[in-house]
């Protein structure tokens, strides 16, 4: 069964969602991050996906106080990304309570550092974040494009212990128009040893059911929850069936 990872995106300590990664097209929500974590845990969720959007833009973590607060609840495992671009940032994220760290820009710009992190912490702790715009990996909070394809970047780190990849199709993110199914099916077939997380475009439980039927192991759900396209009760029932 597919694992459902609710997303919490942070700007100024508040929950927000962007459309196609555009900081100017953001929606701010009233719910506090710790309230959201409690609700997700009550629904049976065991892992959440949190992105420090301020950190991604600034190049260093900016919402570690929020991470400490939600980690102190001890309710869910936390994968944390945004601004983890050097050893200090990685250490601070783990010290603040992150169970997993997402590395995106580092994987593109500092391959030696990424390889060292994988060797030091293992692929079970360091996750590759590959966010795609027009087939190429975007970095620095999606504000900068690179020439790297997701296949090229996976090939680079597979021998170093890479086991987990979160792949976001930026064109789908926050648009509630369905995920890029063919992208993920193709990646899973090419790299069966990698645990891929689907990210971007989830609009309903039907999307999740389809991904589950296709054998994809994880999915991140964000805006669909905040916009009441998917209820926590639906998530709870789906998890309980497992």
Q: What is the structure's pLDDT at 154? A: 97
- Choice among 52, 99, 112, 131 that is catalytic: 131
Q: Could you tell me the CATH number of the domain that includes residue 122? A: 3.20.20.70
**How many domains are contained in the chain?**
1
Show the domain range for 223.
Answer: 3-241
Q: Is 9 a catalytic residue?
A: yes
Q: What is the structure's pLDDT at 137? A: 87
pTM > 0.85: yes or no: yes
Q: Is 131 a catalytic residue?
A: yes
As a three-state string, the secondary structure of the chain is CCEEEEEEEEECCEEEEEECCEEEEEEECCCCHHHHHHHHHHCCCCEEEEEEHHHHHHCCCCCHHHHHHHHHCCCCEEEEECCCCCHHHHHHHHHHCCCEEEECHHHHHCHHHHHHHHHHHCCCCEEEEEEEECCEEEECCCCEECCCCHHHHHHHHHHHCCCEEEEEECCCCCCCCCCCHHHHHHHHHHCCCCEEEEECCCCCHHHHHHHHHCCCCEEEECHHHHCCCCCHHHHHHHHHHC
The pLDDT tens digits of the residues spanning 14-45 come to 988 777 667 777 788 878 999 999 999 999 99
> What parts of the chain have a pLDDT lower than 50?
none
Q: What is the structure's pLDDT at 141? A: 60
């Amino acid at each position: 069964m597919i694992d459902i990872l609710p997303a919490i995106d942070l700007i100024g300590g508040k929950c927000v969602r962007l459309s196609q990664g555009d900081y100017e097209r953001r929606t701010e929500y009233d719910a506090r991050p710790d309230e959201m974590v409690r609700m997700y845990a009550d629904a049976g969720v065991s892992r959440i996906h949190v992105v420090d959007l301020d950190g991604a833009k600034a190049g260093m973590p900016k919402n570690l106080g929020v991470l400490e607060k939600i980690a102190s609840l001890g309710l869910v495992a936390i994968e944390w990304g945004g601004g983890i671009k050097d050893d200090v940032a990685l250490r601070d994220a783990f010290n603040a309570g992150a169970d997993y760290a997402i590395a995106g820009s580092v994987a593109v710009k500092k391959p030696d550092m990424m390889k060292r992190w994988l060797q030091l912490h293992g692929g079970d702790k360091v996750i590759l974040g590959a966010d795609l715009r027009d087939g190429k990996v975007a970095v620095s909070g999606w504000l900068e494009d690179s020439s790297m394809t997701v296949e090229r970047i996976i090939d680079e780190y597979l021998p170093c212990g890479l086991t987990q990849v979160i792949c976001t199709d930026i064109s789908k993110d926050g648009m509630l128009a369905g995920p890029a199914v063919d992208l993920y099916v193709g990646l899973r077939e090419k790299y069966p040893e990698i645990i891929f997380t689907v990210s971007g475009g989830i609009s309903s439980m039907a999307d999740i059911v389809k991904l589950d039927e296709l054998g994809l192991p994880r999915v991140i759900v964000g805006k669909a929850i905040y916009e009441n396209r998917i209820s926590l009760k639906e998530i709870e029932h789906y998890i309980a069936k497992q």
